[in-house]
Structure 1
Amino acid sequence: MASIELRVVRVESPAERIRSVVLVPANGAALPGYTAGAHMEIHLPDGATRPYSLIDFDGDCAAPAAYRFGVRLEEESRGGSRFMHGLKEGDTVTADVPKNDFPLADGDAPAVLIAGGIGVTPIISMATALKDAGRNYALHYAMRDRSAAAFTDRLDEIHGERLSLHFDDEAGGPLDLKAIIGAADPNAHLYVCGPKPMIEAARQVAEAAGFPNDRIHFELFDAPADQEGDTAFEVEVASTGKVYTIPPGKSIIDVLEEAGEDLIYDCQRGDCGICQTDVLEGEPDHRDVVLSDAERASGKVMQICVSRAKSARLKLDL
């Protein structure tokens, strides 16, 4: 994928542990445009990349003068958030051109936007695009407390009564998803971005309310985490018969790609569905947010970027 060099021109701290970084082209060339919900892969010094969503407050994403990111410093950062928080004005970074795995659906149907914490970043761009298009939308932004409230003044200025803010500590609990989704237009599209528990809860509520899967959209803002008690298991590649051992701390994709297997994947968080693979034998341990309850129960497919095995071996249609 093509990459571009960017230079940091502004760094701000809009909330506790959150850094806003604005970058322009290092060589003065025009920046590639993007659509609401898009992200960029930022290259880290160790050669790895991390995805960060682009923030568009002004509706200029088709021909942007700069790119803006909002990044929360994770307590157990794998390098990405610490790198982004360490940037200062004048620094340069390399990034892949924008891509979008979380786009707005075409048409003029109403939209319900639900953001949890730093998951608000792609939702901001969606709200901007919906407002500019004259479409009906509501924006619900949930945070643990006011110290984590990033970008709220700007959002209130732009979206007014369409914006609802929720603070867990003041409300005595998490966002009331049943009330929000239950009150939504039955023809609306739902867009949810935030931590895994919020996404799973929203999907369950939406499915129970009769929303079809093609009107429930989400993006996960949690990096995959190892779970206590994870053990090694084997994966057999059906096309070749080769068997690989997947140890704790590594994904199926990690091991197979290191061995030279040609795989198709993207997010590596379990939310885009691109790496979905048929399971021919064995029992998967599902850890994604893509599959429906029925698909999980069938055991016939899995997302190999995050899910593991409950059986000693999985035979995959690869």
Structure 2
Amino acid sequence: MAKQYEMFKVRVTGVEQATPQIKRFTLARADGGPLPAFSGGSHVIVQMQSPCGSQFSNAYSLMSDPRQLHSYQIGVRLEEQSKGGSAFMHNQVAVGSELTISTPNNLFALDADAGRHVLIAGGIGITPFLAQLHELEDGATPYELHYAFRAPEHGAFQGDLEQGPHAGNTRFYIDSLDRKLDLAALCAGLADDAHLYVCGPKPLIDAVIATAAAAGIAESRVHWEQFAAAAPATGAAFTVVLARSGTELQVEEGMTILQAIEKSKAAKVECLCREGVCGTCETAILEGEAEHFDQYLSDEEKAAQQSMMLCVSRARSARLVLDL
């Protein structure tokens, strides 16, 4: 059930403007000790406290070398419609600032059974692949990285890739220069043991999933990650019953179950990310079925309808009874 995280303090030791919209932050443990081990594809939850008392909590991929635990690095894109977290990181966080982060968790690991790793990144979606590339340096499994972005000035960490050991395995696609990524051609040429990984904007993820399916690539060979709440703004209202108290709540269109519970103060639910990736708000389903929009549960767990993430998932039925 609900995942538990250790939270600890880190100090910002470096801030770099990677593109007009993306900053790279280097974090070291505030007590000077080594950071927890992680693998490529891992993320941490970053908690931020504003001077006015507002608290933000976002998930960010670790992009540094998993073999070096004296510091972590994360890349943060300033979102146009920021809920507060990315704006805080860009406008309030500087060298010397202290943040609270979680121990790492990995929902986007490289598959050990793959005969080839094909990595597809869009914009800020490059970050988890940077850590994975470190893991691939010494391995025998072939790999390739396809990195798409809008214009040369938006190619975050392009210089690192061009000058590093992965230059020969990396291809860049720049929209403004009319260098487009041909997903159909890429998928058509894949061997049966190759695995696809995609991270970036939702249209890119959807296109990779659809193109892979059209090419006959099994779903188990397609892996994706996106840190953004996936619950749609539309959808009929439904009733949620909190079984322990008998409280009934109406969850309106455009509202999450978590928001309805918090508004009514009917129960206390911990949720670190509010994006369906941390697992802390996982709650057992006693009656009804959920429409799952999280990235934490596996396809098998979603089909079993035993639990759901209250921060993003909604009800498939008109009435949902939860173990709260």
TM-score interval (norm. to shorter): 0.7 to 0.9
8 A contact 1:223–1:269 mirrored in 2: yes
Q: After superposition, give the CA deviation of every residue in 1:238-278 in whole Å (9 maximum; x if it has no partner).
A: 79865321134531233346532768x88643578995987
The separation in 2 between residues aligned to 1:251 and 1:14, in whole angstroms, is: 34
8 A contact 2:237–2:253 mirrored in 1: yes
Change (3 A) 1:276 1:188: farther
Secondary structure of the residue that 2:18 maps to in structure 1? strand
Within the candidate set 2, 11, 17, 2:15 is matched to 11
Secondary structure of the residue that 1:50 maps to in structure 2? strand
Secondary structure of the residue that 2:240 maps to in structure 1? strand
The separation in 1 between residues aligned to 2:249 and 2:220, in whole angstroms, is: 35
8 A contact 2:45–2:273 mirrored in 1: no
Give the C-alpha shift of residue 48 in structure 1.
3.6
The percentage of counterpart residues that share the same residue type is 36
Give the C-alpha shift of residue 291 in structure 1.
10
Q: Which TM-score applies when normalising by structure 2?
A: 0.80
Counterpart of 1:127 in structure 2 is 133
Q: Which TM-score applies when normalising by structure 1?
A: 0.81
Unaligned runs of 5+ in 2: none
Q: After superposition, give the CA deviation of every residue in 1:140-169 in whole Å (9 maximum; x if it has no partner).
A: 111111121100011122211210111123
Change (3 A) 1:198 1:272: farther
Give the C-alpha shift of residue 63 in structure 1.
4.1
| Superposition CA RMSD, Å | 3.6
Within the candidate set 32, 40, 59, 1:51 is matched to 59
The separation in 2 between residues aligned to 1:226 and 1:118, in whole angstroms, is: 22
The separation in 1 between residues aligned to 2:9 and 2:277, in whole angstroms, is: 28
8 A contact 1:200–1:289 mirrored in 2: no
What is the total number of aligned residue pairs between the two structures?
A: 309
Amino acid at match of 1:21: F
8 A contact 1:6–1:24 mirrored in 2: yes
The separation in 1 between residues aligned to 2:186 and 2:155, in whole angstroms, is: 20
Change (3 A) 1:112 1:250: same
The separation in 1 between residues aligned to 2:306 and 2:20, in whole angstroms, is: 43
The separation in 2 between residues aligned to 1:301 and 1:98, in whole angstroms, is: 23
Counterpart of 1:25 in structure 2 is 29
The separation in 2 between residues aligned to 1:208 and 1:273, in whole angstroms, is: 31
8 A contact 1:196–1:289 mirrored in 2: no
Matches within 5 A, 1:1-318: 1-45=5-49, 46-56=54-64, 59=65, 61-86=66-91, 87-107=93-113, 109-158=115-164, 159-171=166-178, 175-224=181-230, 227=233, 232-236=237-241, 242-256=247-261, 258-260=265-267, 268-270=274-276, 304-308=310-314, 313-315=318-320
Amino acid at match of 1:144: R
Secondary structure of the residue that 1:132 maps to in structure 2? coil
The separation in 2 between residues aligned to 1:207 and 1:279, in whole angstroms, is: 34
8 A contact 2:277–2:294 mirrored in 1: yes
Secondary structure of the residue that 2:83 maps to in structure 1? coil
8 A contact 2:229–2:276 mirrored in 1: no
The separation in 1 between residues aligned to 2:7 and 2:293, in whole angstroms, is: 31
8 A contact 2:107–2:296 mirrored in 1: no
Give the C-alpha shift of residue 18 in structure 1.
0.6
Larger relative contact order (Cα-Cα within 8 Å, sequence gap ≥ 6): 2
Q: After superposition, give the CA deviation of every residue in 1:90-133 in whole Å (9 maximum; x if it has no partner).
A: 11111112121211222452111011110110011112211232
8 A contact 1:195–1:222 mirrored in 2: no
